[in-house]
Structure 1
């Protein structure tokens, strides 16, 4: 392992811990503003909306300024935005601040660029696995901290301390990047060209494998993000959970992703191939959503969300890897840029829709609709197995 990589992984862990620390608070913090389920889901979607623009902007900016400088600046400003979020006077100001937080936190492409700088192509998959593990660990521990330090009353003062801690985590990550992290390559002085989305649309639309993978990614990630958005409201109603309880539940979610990233995805891909692993991940996603309102027990509420995250961690990183493997080098930038935009669109559009369904139709309906969405894309994933198997046989 390159000695410049561990400092980046530490920065990713600290940054994601700060980001995920907020997640169990949002359903209850939204209630401070008398927000409807739709409004609370907007708090989740607003971050993703800012995030997609941040990923495009900061990825290119890191080519000009260098990865270290961009990571240090953006995580610092993101940390300051958390302090502003703690004192938001109303829902719409909170949503705007969440957009800004998402924009300045849109640096995963910068971190991935750093990984590309320090790792050879043959070691990149293993390195990305370490990156995913750092992400999942941060996602596991952050919500626990948020839940432990949150108050029990539905009042702004109950949530300020954990939000301050989230801001402190981001500022800590900024200082870490500034002091410890070192660029692997010198800044290029100019940004990479923007993805050519029109060409990428045509390219993906004419490739059966890629088209199915893009549809799977869009609907799968949309459903997953929507379950995250309604989970706090649903468990509050069914189990009487508060932010403390939800924080511990998110530990299981992060643990599910960590186990899948570290122990499962490599051996499963080696034995069954990418397409079948995508099917396995989607089946776990659909099953966890379907069983949640049927079993309706606190222990299943935790375990099934861990299963949900495990399915997510198996299906979508594998889909991204399969897209990259079936895309020629000259089209990698535009195709992966389109993938990022497509997935982000799902995270932006779907949570408010599912929040509205939760509030106006039935509280269990999002689980069943989400399971149905995943069930439909499983059909595409099974077609993908046949297409990739036929391609291997032809070779």
Structure 2
């Protein structure tokens, strides 16, 4: 007996609401930590190339974990896999807070990556309970939960961090991240209903990356996977180097970096929740995906061309409170433009894959998509660290911008393949 989706969850909006809240809570924890990683690593006396390894180690673990968790969620259901991965995140954050040196922190990030797998599982859940023609919109709603998590998480992380205390000053945000991961696990346990039936134990278990051959043979999925690989290599290069770049160029601290990522989350949430589904239905998923790639690439170039300082930092007095405005204020504006492009990418990538994959292989194919992203996130930060140290702080952004051009071409080609299939 193969898995099938129960009919009930398809008709119940509250199920999606619960999943939205769970994803939001989980991403608050993730958002708390990621913008602080360069500064946390600096407190451990790390060099730039070691700092970017924190990002690569997580993705290395995720590379092996995502296909496994995706296949397992097809087999035993989405809910158990979500619980396991959330608990692993909770433990991983606690271990990170007490890492005594940079190499211990790298190992902890590797462990946390092995426990990461809820993105493809969440996408599989959405595919289970959503008809094909509405998947882009609902993937966008879940993407909005990611964006909202990145609104609260980075801003809270920047405010909770106390750089003047040294290493200890970065532990409180990490403790909070562990707590919210535990809260998300409780939400899944008590409120989320399973979307799939358990598979027959006699069903043969597919091997690691078992869907790779089928994905390569599919003209749509293979091209979309290449979009993920190329685009996320550029994005991860920017993400891992941004804190170092901002500190070098504008003397920013964790506060400014966290607030900048908060703006990215706000724009992403609005764009995915309101516009992504509508744009996909009007212009097609592939075209919107290609435009998103190019918009993100343009923002990276604009970021490197921004002046070092148009004026000194100042404090804006709004009466009820005083808002400090730092040098480099234009950077969050440029990042917001890039966020518009990024927010068009993931929901349309996931929707195109789920449209092309059979129901019993959607978790597998979405897991392969996350594995492709993990490969990009393994090598993107490593290359970014080498570029930053060898050629200069701007080069991770410039190379990332170059990569968005072939990604956009691949997206257009995937759309053409999908239209040929539909017409056949």
Same fold (TM over 0.5): yes
> Which of 338, 345, 357 is the matching residue for 1:308?
338
Q: Equivalent residues in 2 for 1:272-287 (5 A)?
A: 272-287=283-298
Is the contact made by 1:86 and 1:156 (CA closer than 8 Å) also made in structure 2?
Answer: no
Aligned to 1:348: 378
Size of the alignment, in residue pairs?
A: 393
Residues 29 and 204 (structure 1), Cα distance of their counterparts in 2 relative to 1, 3 Å cut:
same
> Which of 180, 194, 200 is the matching residue for 2:206?
194
Matched, 1:109 2:120: yes
| In structure 2, C-alpha distance between the alignment counterparts of 1:7 and 1:381, rounded to whole Å | 32
Residues 228 and 207 (structure 1), Cα distance of their counterparts in 2 relative to 1, 3 Å cut:
same
Q: Deviation at 1:216?
A: 2.3
Q: Equivalent residues in 2 for 1:354-373 (5 A)?
A: 354-373=384-403
> Which of 275, 279, 286 is the matching residue for 1:264?
275
Pick which of 34-43 and 159-168 moved more.
Answer: 34-43
Aligned to 2:258: 247
| In structure 2, C-alpha distance between the alignment counterparts of 1:62 and 1:337, rounded to whole Å | 10
Residues 92 and 79 (structure 1), Cα distance of their counterparts in 2 relative to 1, 3 Å cut:
same
> After superposition, what is the alpha-carbon deviation per residue over 1:296-330, rounded to whole angstroms, capped at 9, x for unaligned?
45222112222222212213432332344345667
Aligned to 2:315: none
Q: Equivalent residues in 2 for 1:88-237 (5 A)?
A: 88-153=99-164, 155-188=166-199, 190=201, 193-194=205-206, 197=209, 200-201=212-213, 203-205=214-216, 209-237=220-248
Pick which of 310-319 and 248-257 moved more.
Answer: 310-319
Residues 106 and 377 (structure 1), Cα distance of their counterparts in 2 relative to 1, 3 Å cut:
closer
Is the contact made by 1:63 and 1:192 (CA closer than 8 Å) also made in structure 2?
Answer: no
Aligned to 1:34: 45
Q: Deviation at 1:64?
A: 6.0
Q: What TM-score, normalized by structure 1, do the two folds share?
A: 0.89
Report SS of the residue matched to 1:33. coil
Residues 192 and 366 (structure 1), Cα distance of their counterparts in 2 relative to 1, 3 Å cut:
farther
| In structure 1, C-alpha distance between the alignment counterparts of 2:65 and 2:414, rounded to whole Å | 32
Aligned to 1:74: 85
Is the contact made by 2:120 and 2:370 (CA closer than 8 Å) also made in structure 1?
Answer: no
Q: Deviation at 1:166?
A: 0.6
Q: Deviation at 1:147?
A: 0.5
Residues 8 and 206 (structure 1), Cα distance of their counterparts in 2 relative to 1, 3 Å cut:
closer
> After superposition, what is the alpha-carbon deviation per residue over 1:354-374, rounded to whole angstroms, capped at 9, x for unaligned?
111101211111111111222
| Consecutive unaligned residues in structure 2, runs of 5 or more | 1-11, 309-327
Is the contact made by 1:259 and 1:310 (CA closer than 8 Å) also made in structure 2?
Answer: no
| In structure 2, C-alpha distance between the alignment counterparts of 1:3 and 1:199, rounded to whole Å | 32
| In structure 1, C-alpha distance between the alignment counterparts of 2:136 and 2:415, rounded to whole Å | 21
| In structure 1, C-alpha distance between the alignment counterparts of 2:135 and 2:219, rounded to whole Å | 26
Is the contact made by 1:62 and 1:187 (CA closer than 8 Å) also made in structure 2?
Answer: no
| In structure 2, C-alpha distance between the alignment counterparts of 1:283 and 1:155, rounded to whole Å | 39
Is the contact made by 1:9 and 1:131 (CA closer than 8 Å) also made in structure 2?
Answer: yes
| In structure 2, C-alpha distance between the alignment counterparts of 1:105 and 1:328, rounded to whole Å | 24
Pick which of 69-78 and 236-245 moved more.
Answer: 69-78
- Computed over aligned residues only, the root mean square deviation of the Cα atoms, in angstroms, reads 2.8
Residues 337 and 169 (structure 1), Cα distance of their counterparts in 2 relative to 1, 3 Å cut:
closer
Residues 30 and 322 (structure 1), Cα distance of their counterparts in 2 relative to 1, 3 Å cut:
same
| In structure 1, C-alpha distance between the alignment counterparts of 2:106 and 2:292, rounded to whole Å | 32
Residues 302 and 160 (structure 1), Cα distance of their counterparts in 2 relative to 1, 3 Å cut:
same
Q: Deviation at 1:278?
A: 1.9
Q: Deviation at 1:282?
A: 1.3
| In structure 2, C-alpha distance between the alignment counterparts of 1:220 and 1:310, rounded to whole Å | 14
Report SS of the residue matched to 1:3. helix
Aligned to 2:15: 4
> Which of 249, 258, 279 is the matching residue for 1:238?
249
Q: Which has the higher helix share?
A: 1
Report SS of the residue matched to 1:362. coil
